[in-house]
Amino acid sequence: MNIKISYYGQSRQLAGKGDEQLDAEDNVTANAVLKILSEKYGEAFSTLVLSDEGVLRKSILLSVNDEITDPNQTLSDNDELSLYPALSGG
Amino acid sequence: MMSCRFTQRYQEVDVSNKLTQEEKATYEWQIWEPDFGEEGQEKLKNSAALVSRVGGLGSPVAYALAAAGIGKIVLAHGGNIKNSDLNRQILMTHDQLDKPRVECAKRRLLELNPALEVEAIPENVTEENAADLVGKVDVVFDCAPLFQERYAMNKACVEQGKPLVDAAMYSMEGRVTIIIPGETPCFACIYPEFPEGWKREFPVFGAVAAIAGNIAVCEGIKILAGFGTILAGYMLQYNARNMEFKKLKLKKNDSCPVCGDL
Ligand SMILES: [Zn+2]
């Protein structure tokens, strides 16, 4: 099935793009998709997004179809997963 | 109506200072706003706001508050002006390079609004001074770069029941949310953990920061004057790269160490 991923904040910079489509297995969880992306984009991306236990860090908001959710959520075809790492000022 | 729950003014302000004829003339165009009127202007005049750092976010915040006729602004920002501040910290001027940021910001605010009371504190927010700073004001604008400052400010606002307008930016993006202690998720509910690998210097344009700053002031005016619907419990996220604006509903953490008992 097809999953759309949208990157915000630092995740956009580390992925080098704002969004993309991913072909994923049926009933995949959001966290499993994040693991696939972490392998694809390497250490800096992985460190930003995943904890040492391989779970989405709590400094990042995750939404599916613009609803904030937790990484255990099972995804459906054409779902849009978005990552919003905490931002600050300066 | 649920949507009205947050539209009441959060902190009662003693509106003992009435508007002068000159103030009625100065603020005429916003007094024409029917939801605001002279009553709203009087509430602003009798209100005080804390702006934590007058950088890319805090400069437009303080400037717009001064223009709107708020009575008092407390500025908290340490350090001296650097060249690399000037693309976004719009209260800083080139002739004041290497001089204290808060003093330059104060001068610029008073040029715009000589009736404004400005308390310029040459320190950033810390766990030690946050409660004191928050205690001076009716509403707080968090525009700080360090997450330690944001967590400290959040805790002080939750403890004192003060509304917190949280603004943030990065690259071509920005975010604003309102924290009403006991009613909305707090900053520690939204981001329970310190972000790993956060770099305090990052790409951004002044114009992108100013969007968040001016949205924050719109929210602050509504909180103080008591009208409209504010971003309480919602995160406004904008992406100036494609002008996508969205509102995300935030979740409270019932076991939040900061606000879980409220
Ligand atoms: Zn909380």
Domain B2-249 has CATH 3.40.640.10: no
- Residue of B148, B190, B191 for testing the chain A interface, max A β-carbons within 10 Å: B191
Nearest CA in chain A to B202: A90
| Distance (Å, whole) CA B218 – CA B177 | 12
pLDDT at B37 over 50: yes
Q: Which two tokens stand for residue B70?
A: 């708020």
Nearest CA in chain A to B204: A90
C-alpha Rg value of chain A to the nearest Å: 12
Give residue A65 CA to ligand 1 midpoint distance, Å. 24
**Mean pLDDT across chain A, nearest whole number?**
97
Residues of B in contact with A18 (CB under 8 A): 239, 241-242
Q: Where are the domains of chain A?
A: 2-85
User: Is A43's Cβ below 8 Å from some Cβ in B?
Assistant: no
pLDDT at B14 over 80: no
Give residue B186 CA to ligand 1 midpoint distance, Å. 4
Please judge whether B195 and A47 are an interchain contact, meaning their C-beta atoms are less than 8 angstroms apart.
Answer: no
Specify the pLDDT at position B112: 98
From residue B86, how far is each of A25, B91, B146, B222 by CA, in Å? 49, 9, 19, 30
User: Is A47's Cβ below 8 Å from some Cβ in B?
Assistant: yes
pLDDT at B2 over 70: no
Q: Where are the domains of chain B?
A: 2-249
Over pLDDT 70: what percentage of chain A? 100
Q: Where do the H-state alpha helices sit in B16-146?
A: 21-26, 28-31, 37-45, 58-68, 101-112, 130-135
**Residue B207's closest CA among B164, B246, B169, B150?**
B169
Please judge whether A8 and B173 are an interchain contact, meaning their C-beta atoms are less than 8 angstroms apart.
Answer: yes
Q: Which two tokens stand for residue B199?
A: 């770099």
Write out pLDDT tens, residues B103-122: 999 999 999 999 999 999 99
Please judge whether A9 and B246 are an interchain contact, meaning their C-beta atoms are less than 8 angstroms apart.
Answer: no
Angle CA A16–A17–A19, to nearest 5: 150
Residues of A in contact with B57 (CB under 8 A): 89-90
Please judge whether B173 and A44 are an interchain contact, meaning their C-beta atoms are less than 8 angstroms apart.
Answer: no
pLDDT at B5 over 70: no
**Residue B47's closest CA among B1, B12, B82, B94?**
B12
Give residue B32 CA to ligand 1 midpoint distance, Å. 38
CATH of range A2-85; options 3.40.50.300, 3.40.47.10, 3.10.20.30, 3.20.20.80: 3.10.20.30
User: Is A53's Cβ below 8 Å from some Cβ in B?
Assistant: no
Q: pLDDT band for B9, please (50, 70, 90 cuts).
A: very low
Virtual torsion, Cα B114, B116, B119, B120, nearest 10 deg: -50
Write out pLDDT tens, residues B215-231: 999 999 999 999 999 99
Specify the pLDDT at position B16: 82
- For residues B36-54, give the mean pLDDT: 97
Please judge whether B173 and A89 are an interchain contact, meaning their C-beta atoms are less than 8 angstroms apart.
Answer: no
- For residues B172-183, give the mean pLDDT: 97
Give residue B160 CA to ligand 1 midpoint distance, Å. 14
**Residue B138's closest CA among B5, B3, B15, B36?**
B15
User: Is A8's Cβ below 8 Å from some Cβ in B?
Assistant: yes
* Residue among B55, B197, B246 minimizing CB distance to A90: B55
Decide: helix, strand or coil at residue B165: strand
Task: State which residues have CB under 5 angstroms from ligand 1, the bound ion.
Answer: B 186, 188-189, 256, 258-259
| Distance (Å, whole) CA B77 – CA B55 | 8
AA identity, residue B186: C
| Distance (Å, whole) CA B95 – CA B106 | 15
pLDDT at A15 over 80: yes
From residue B30, how far is each of A2, B46, B191, B225 by CA, in Å? 49, 16, 36, 12
Instruction: End-to-end CA distance of chain B: give it in Å, rounded.
Output: 22
| Span of B7-16, B63-72, B130-139 with lowest mean pLDDT | B7-16
Q: Where do the H-state alpha helices sit in B81-184?
A: 101-112, 130-135, 147-160
